[in-house]
Amino acid sequence: MPGRFAGKQALVLGVANRRSIAWAIANRLHEEGAELAFTFQGERIEKTVRELAASVDAKLVTECDVRSDEDVARVFAETAGAFGGGLDILVHSVAYAAAEDLEGRFTDTPRDRFWMALDVSAYSLVACARAAEPLMEARGGGSIVTMTYLGGERAVPHYNVMGVAKASLDASVKYLAWDLGQKSIRVNAISAGPVRTLAARSIAGFTTMEEIFELRSPLHRHIEADDCGGAAAYLLSDDAKNVTGTTLYVDAGYHAMGM
């Protein structure tokens, strides 16, 4: 029986290794029939991404610096070439802040690193959605999913400038959903609880965050990357054809608690 994504073509940004949420999403898409393309950032993770991409018969693996409009344009041109001019799915799992800005006080964030965090973590979604728009329009519509976190809604110690970037990302999801909805392109976000990814290890006090999360969440359990993979598969599929501008919480109910 064909999967939900049979005949669908997906571009995935943000895979770093097997523990990445982006990889869990990509793997789920592959299992349900999607053709995949991947980007990577820098030589340090290129080998890993290429090996993972080969394991799912990816059509394209290419480097992308999301801070460069020229690079984003090139990547989507290559994607169009690999997929015959169209694109159905965009997975945006890209975020960055300097490690020192995730340790001390938010107040001390310097101007240049503040804008860098917002550029990489929030504006990149806008740039990629703009580049994806004509490719998705050529396919009669499409779906975009990005990754956010509760730190964009509430102050989380040590999350600092990344929380401000996620707040901007959350607002961008809503505005993009409005702009692109007329072309049947949906834009949603997943807000995950603490997941042990490469990026999470750079957050000071991450282990403490996990302990508090397990104690206070209604389900009293940790979140795995695969949990996000399943949630993303729903949002990206036709099962969610009337869901857009929405944040789906995959956090064992933690966001619902007041203390």
Q: Report pLDDT digits (tens) over 203-226.
A: 556 677 777 888 889 988 888 999
Asked if 17 and 41 count as a contact pair (C-beta separation under 8 A), the reply is no
Q: pLDDT class for 200, splitting at 50, 70, 90?
A: low
Q: Which of 96, 123, 159, 249 is catalytic?
A: 159
Q: Does 159 qualify as catalytic in the annotation?
A: yes
Spans of all domains in the chain: 9-251
d(CA 253, CA 217): 6
Provide CB contacts within 8 A for 130, sequence distance 6+. Answer: none
Asked if 123 and 176 count as a contact pair (C-beta separation under 8 A), the reply is no
Q: What is the pLDDT of residue 208?
A: 73
Neighbours of 245 (CB within 10 A): 16
Q: Which of 149, 175, 249, 254 is catalytic?
A: 149
Q: Report pLDDT digits (tens) over 5-33.
A: 999 999 999 999 999 999 999 999 999 99
Task: Kindly tell me the burial class for residue 50, based on how many C-beta atoms sit within 10 Å of its own C-beta (0-12, 13-18, 19 or more).
Answer: middle
- CATH (residue range 9-251): 3.40.50.720
